[in-house]
Structure 1
Amino acid sequence: MIELKDRGYSALKAQPLAKKLNVTRGSFYYHFENLESFHAAVITHWSKHTSGRVIKTAQESINPQKALDELLQQTLCSGEDLERAIRSWSTVQPLVAKEVEKVDQGRIKVAEALLIKSGVSKSHAAPRAKLLYWAAIGRLMLPFPANNLLSRMEISGVATLMLQERE
């Protein structure tokens, strides 16, 4: 993951990784059937470690409004280099694109479920969840995401706005 984050997807090749780890290329392939299976393992690891905890916490929360606020606090305040690297990789690797799409849809569904549990109608919750997610990913893809942060209070205001049901 460090190689991907620091050097991009082009660093995820058997020979350079084996050399960096001071193992043979054969040793690399002992653990992975082929480069595609290694790439799949990287994506699985990314998914579990970047979304798994956040999603689990959101799903287990007894207060959906607070869970939505916390979800937004985490997603709108991160400057995740790894997320940027994965998304860049997904533009050139169909396997990665498919997995990123699954993760994206899962994350959107979590936000949608929190909105619905908070009293927002399904017809309003779905587009709001997408909009929130697109905003979070869009911010990450800006050249300097750390320069584009909202305060905790501003993020809470966005969460409150998304929870309002229109008449």
Structure 2
Amino acid sequence: MSSATETPAPRSASARAPDLTPAAWLEAGQSLLRRGGLRALKLRPLAEELRVSTGSFYHHFRDFDDYQGQLAHYFAEDQISDLIDALERATPDPIERIRLLGQTVRRRGSSRLAIAMRAWAESDPRARTAVERHDMLMLDFLARCLTSAGFTRAEAEIRAYGLITLGLSKVHAPHLDMASLFDSLLDIMVARPA
């Protein structure tokens, strides 16, 4: 007889997660990329991340090559498009949209994922195409926001490029408050000369 205070046994790695979707596998792959780069992206760690058997992988993907192609596409299309749509719905203020983007990137660890994707792009044309598409969409979103804030398209594109590259840099600067750094950089980038 068990008591109400007993801790349930941990779910085994082979116990199938309910309603596992291809998106769950893609999110797990991004988590591995974020933490360990491309060398961490392997089938067994993916299955362990989701607490399922490796066999369940094949319910959604033909093979690992198919999975990697879908993972690259997910980074470049579905995920970024959904994020941009959500930011555009969140506020009519274009600068606040950019602030929300910075907060979302920090919360999700997206810059680490983008760095891992860029490293992967050095050896895989699918990842290279995905990174280029991701950058195009993100640059366009930021430039549209900055144009709405009063900059010319040329000024907006330069500032957008600056915001993205500053957000991706990993300069060691422990004396700076990383939590507010993006907002401070944004304030500088959108300030007009007096």
TM-score by length of 1: 0.71
In 1, Cα distance between equivalents of 2:57 and 2:107: 36
Residue 112 (structure 1) shift: 0.5
User: Does 154-163 or 35-44 show the bigger shift?
Assistant: 154-163
**d(CA) in 2 for partners of 1:118, 1:92:** 38
Per-residue CA distance 1:50-81 (angstroms, 9 max, x = gap): x3454223323311122223323444676444
Alignment partners' CA distance in 1, 2:109 and 2:72: 19
The structural deviation recorded for 1:18 is 8.4
- Answer yes or no: is the 8 Å Cα contact 1:64–1:118 preserved in 2: yes
Answer yes or no: is 1:159 the counterpart of 2:190. no
Residue number in structure 2 paired with 1:67:
97
Which stretch shifts more, 130-139 or 77-86? 77-86
Paired residue secondary structure (1:129): helix
Unaligned runs of 5+ in 2: 1-28
Change beyond 3 A, Cα 1:29–1:74: closer
TM-superposed deviation, 1:99: 0.5
Among residues 46, 55, 61, which one is paired with 1:32 in the alignment?
A: 61
What is the match of residue 71 of structure 2? Answer: 42
Match of residue 107 from structure 1:
138
Residue number in structure 1 paired with 2:167: 136
Unaligned stretches of 5+ residues in structure 1: none
CA contact (8 A) 1:68 1:111 kept: yes
Q: Separation in 1 of the partners of 2:108 and 2:177?
A: 9
User: Distance in 2 between the 1:30 and 1:75 partners?
Assistant: 31
Q: Does 1:57 align with 2:86?
A: yes
Q: Does 1:10 pair with 2:39?
A: yes
The higher relative CO (CA closer than 8 Å, separation ≥ 6) is in: 1
Q: Which has the larger Rg?
A: 2
Superposition CA RMSD, Å: 3.3
Aligned-pair identity in percent equals 19
Is the helix fraction higher in 1 or 2? 1
Equivalent-residue separation in structure 2 for 1:145 and 1:8 (angstroms): 23
State how far apart, in whole Å, the 1-side matches of 2:173 and 2:73 are: 25
2:148 is aligned with 1:120:
no
* TM-aligned CA distance change 1:155 to 1:77, over 3 Å: farther
The one of 63, 66, 87 aligned to 2:118: 87
Query: Secondary structure, in 3 states, of the residue corresponding to 1:120?
Result: coil
1:162 deviates by: 2.1
> What TM-score does the superposition give when structure 2 sets the normalisation length?
0.63
